[in-house]
Amino acid sequence: MLLCVSAVLALVVGGLPGHPEALVAVLNASGLLGLGLALVVRCRGQLGAVGLHVLLVGVSLGASAAALAASASHASTAFMVWYCAVVAVAVAASSWSGAVAHVALAVVSAALLHLERGTGSPTAVLVVGCALVLTVVVTGRAVHSAGDAGVDGLTRLPTRRAFEQRLSSALEKAQAQANAGEQAPLVSVLLLDLDHFEVVNRTHGRDGGDDALRTAAGQLRAALPSDAACARLEGDRFAVLLVRRDDAAVPTLARDLQRAIAPLQASVGAAHAEAEQDYTTLLRRAEVALHAAKEAGRDCLRTADSYDEQLVRGLRRALLNPSIQVALQPLVDPATERVLGVEALARWHDPARGWVPPAVFIPVAEKNGLIPDLGQVVLERACRDALQLVHHLGRPLTLTVNASGAELVRPQYVDDVAAVLHRTQWPARDLVVEVTESSLDAASQDTLATVEQLKQLGVRVAIDDFGTGYSAFSQLDNIPAEFLKLDTSFTATTTTSTRRQAMLAALVTLCGELGIQVIAEGVETAEQAELVARFGCDLAQGYHYARPMLVADLIAELARRSAPGHPVHPAPALQDHALGS
CATH of the domain at 196: 3.30.70.270
| Euclidean distance between CA atoms 560 and 565, whole angstroms | 10
Q: How does residue 577 score in pLDDT terms, banded at 50, 70 and 90? A: very low
Confidence of residue 580 (pLDDT cuts 50, 70, 90): very low
Which three-class secondary structure state does DSSP give residue 267? strand
Q: For residues 290 and 193, is the Cβ–Cβ distance under 8 A? A: yes
- Are 122 and 225 in the same domain? no
Does any domain span residue 150?
no
Cα of 56 vs its chain's centroid, Å: 28
Q: Is the peptide bond before 358 cis (omega within 30 degrees of 0)?
A: no
Q: Tell me the pTM.
A: 0.51
Instruction: Yes or no: say if 291 and 356 are a contact pair by the CB < 8 Å rule.
Output: yes
Residue 580 located in a structural domain? no
Residue 565's pLDDT is: 57
Question: Is the distance from CB of 401 to CB of 433 less than 8 angstroms?
Answer: yes
Residue 156, by phi and psi: left (phi above 0), alpha (psi -120 to 50) or beta? left
The whole-number average pLDDT for the span 171-182 is: 85
Q: Same domain, yes or no, for 351 and 333? A: yes
Q: Which of 25-34, 62-71, 430-439, 455-464 has the lowest mean pLDDT?
A: 25-34
At which of 250, 285, 303 does a domain end? 303
**pLDDT grade for 201, boundaries at 50, 70 and 90:** confident
Which residue from 353, 431, 437 is spatially nearest to 397, judged by alpha carbons?
431
Of 86-90, 223-227, 484-488, the poorest mean pLDDT is in 86-90
- How far apart CA 84 and CA 105 sit, in angstroms, is 11
Task: Pick 422 or 122 by higher pLDDT.
Answer: 422
Instruction: Give the count of domains, the chain.
Output: 3
pLDDT band for position 17 (cuts 50, 70, 90): very low
Mark which of 86, 115, 144 sits at the end of a domain: 144
Check: CB of residue 65 under 8 Å from CB of residue 92: no
Same domain, 451 and 543: yes
Question: Residue 89: is its pLDDT beyond 50?
Answer: yes
Distance CA 149, CA 386 (A): 40
Q: 3-12, 483-492, 543-552 — which is least confidently predicted? A: 3-12
Minimum mean pLDDT range among 229-238, 301-310, 387-396, 464-473: 464-473
pLDDT level of residue 572 (50, 70, 90 thresholds): very low
Q: Which residues pair with 466 in a beta bridge?
A: 486
pLDDT above 90 coverage of the chain, percent: 36
Q: How far apart are CA 378 and CA 224, in angstroms?
A: 42
Supply φ then ψ for residue 272, to 5 degrees: -110, 140
Average pLDDT, the chain: 79
Distance CA 530, CA 12 (A): 45
Half-sphere exposure of 15 toward its Cβ, with a 13 Å CA cutoff? Answer: 8
Question: Three-class SS string for 532-562?
Answer: HHHCCCCEECCCCCCCCECHHHHHHHHHHHH
Confirm if 389 and 551 have CB atoms less than 8 A apart: yes
pLDDT-based confidence at residue 513 (cuts at 50, 70, 90):
confident
Q: For residue 571, is it within any domain?
A: no
Closest of 35, 284, 42 to residue 167, by C-alpha: 284
Q: Are 303 and 250 contacting, i.e. CB atoms less than 8 angstroms apart?
A: yes
Cβ neighbours of 524 (radius 10 Å): 18
The verdict on 75 and 57 lying in the same domain is yes
509 and 404 both lie in a single domain:
yes
Out of 11-20, 25-34, 333-342, the most confident range is 333-342
One domain for residues 129 and 40: yes
Better-predicted residue by pLDDT, 109 or 266: 266
Give the residue from 84, 118, 144 where a domain finishes.
144
384 plus 262 within the same structural domain = no
pLDDT band at 579 (very low <50, low <70, confident <90, very high): very low
Report how far Cα 497 is from the mean position of its chain's Cα atoms: 14
CB 300 within 8 A of CB 293: yes
Nearby residues of 126 by Cβ (< 8 Å), 6 or more positions away: 12
- Asked if the model's pLDDT at residue 550 lies above 90, the reply is yes
Residue with more model confidence, 137 or 363: 363
The reply to whether 38 falls in a domain is yes
Amino acid at 93: A
To 10 degrees, what angle do helices 371-393 and 310-320 make? 50
45-59, 288-302, 354-368, 440-454: segment of lowest average pLDDT: 45-59
Q: Is residue 288 part of a domain?
A: yes
How are strands ordered across the β-sheet holding 266-272?
228-234, 237-244, 186-194, 266-272, 301-303
The CA distance from 260 to 252, in Å, is 12
Are the C-beta atoms of residues 470 and 441 closer than 8 Å to each other? Answer: yes
> Regarding predicted confidence, which is higher, 19 or 364?
364
φ, ψ of residue 483 in degrees (nearest 5) = -135, 150
CA distance 435 to 485: 10
Reported as a pLDDT band with limits 50, 70 and 90, residue 215 is very high
Is residue 511 located within the same domain as residue 368?
yes
pLDDT at 151: 87
Q: Which helix (H) or strand (E) holds 243?
A: strand 237-244
Name the range with the highest mean pLDDT among 128-137, 215-224, 318-327, 481-490: 215-224
Q: Indicate whether 329 and 261 sit together in one domain.
A: no
Expressed as residue numbers, the domain containing 425 is 310-566
Would you say residue 575 lies in a domain?
no
Q: Is 120 left (phi over 0), alpha (psi -120 to 50) or beta?
A: left
For residues 285 and 461, what is the distance between their CA atoms, to the nearest angstrom? 32
CA distance 526 to 280: 30
Q: Are residues 288 and 330 in the same domain?
A: no
Question: Are both 128 and 83 inside the same structural domain?
Answer: yes
266 in any annotated domain: yes
Q: Can you tell me the distance from the alpha carbon of 535 to that of 548, in angstroms, rounded to the nearest whole number?
A: 25
Q: Which residues contact 65 (CB under 8 A, 6 or more apart)?
A: none
Residue 85 placed within a domain: yes
Residues 391, 453, single domain; the answer is yes
* Distance from the Cα of residue 230 to its chain's centroid: 14
Instruction: pLDDT band for 295, please (50, 70, 90 cuts).
Output: confident
